[in-house]
Amino acid sequence: MNDNNARRVVSVIVVNEASVLSRITDLFSGRGYNITSLTVAPIPESKYSRLTIVTSGSVRVIEQITKQLHKLIPVLRVYEHADLVEKEMAMVKFPANENIADISTLCEVYNGKIVNVGENVIIVMVADEPKRVDNFLKIIKRYNPKEIVRSGAVALER
């Protein structure tokens, strides 16, 4: 069953033009595919943007997703990654009265640090593999996080 719903990362290079993101998300919702996360940003010095979509499905579904994406007119390329480096960022807000030293040490383990210290809250960031970010977020529960934001994954093929 796991194979039928395996997590997949798909990167899509699209022309950076109006409504291109809706074309992609409409395709997913219209055909009943999942989006776990989606990130998008322009590719420097080009007219293209790169989307990284984390999705899940059977081999056939993933094949359909890549083909259907490719069928969209503004889509230049679709990569369905096999061997990739994947990173995700998360930011967490803690009450300032929590143990800052402990939190700071934890963040370092997950490629992060404290990025803002205010009167009432501190904000930290980590950047790591999505699974490790999951782990980090589990561990820091004991420090009463007030707010959590995740960026969604970005990936590059090795």
Partner 1 sequence: MQINGAQMVIEALIAEGVDTVFGYPGGAIMNVYDEIYKQKDFKHILTRHEQAAVHAAEGYSKASGKVGVAMITSGPGFTNAVTGLADAYMDSIPLVVISGQVPMSLIGTDAFQEIDAVGISRSCTKHNYLVTCAADLPRVLKEAFHIAATGRPGPVHVDIPKDVTAEIAEFDYSVVLELETYKPHIKGNPRQIKKVMEAIANAKRPLFYLGGGIINANAAYEVRDLVQKTGIPAVETFMARGVLSYDDALLIGMLGMHGSYASNMAMSETDLVIGLGVRFDDRVTGKLTEFAKNASVIHVDIDPASISKLVNADYPIVGDVKNVVNEMLELTAGVESKKYKAWRETVQNFAKLHPLAYHEDTERLKPQWVVQRVGELLGDSANISTDVGQHQMWTGQFYPFTRPRQFISSGGLGTMGFGFPAAMGVKAATPEKISINFTGDGSILMNVQELMTAVGNKLPVINIILNNNYLGMVRQWQTLFYDKRHSQTDLSVQPDFVKLAEAFGGIGYRVKTKEEFDAALKDALEKNIVAFIEVVVHRMENVMPMVPAGGSLFNMMLLEKKGDK
Q: Is 62 in the site for partner 1 (CB under 8 A)?
A: no
Among 7, 21, 23, 111, binds partner 1 (CB under 8 A): 23
Please say which residue, 23 or 93, places its beta carbon nearer to partner 1.
23
The token pair that represents 128 in the structure block = 């790591």
Q: Is 58 in the site for partner 1 (CB under 8 A)?
A: no
> If you count them, how many residues does the chain have?
158
Please say which residue, 31 or 142, places its beta carbon nearer to partner 1.
31
Q: Is 75 in the site for partner 1 (CB under 8 A)?
A: yes
Q: Which stretch binds partner 1 (CB under 8 A): 59-67, 79-87, 118-126, 148-156?
A: 59-67
d(CA 42, CA 16): 7
Q: Is 64 in the site for partner 1 (CB under 8 A)?
A: yes
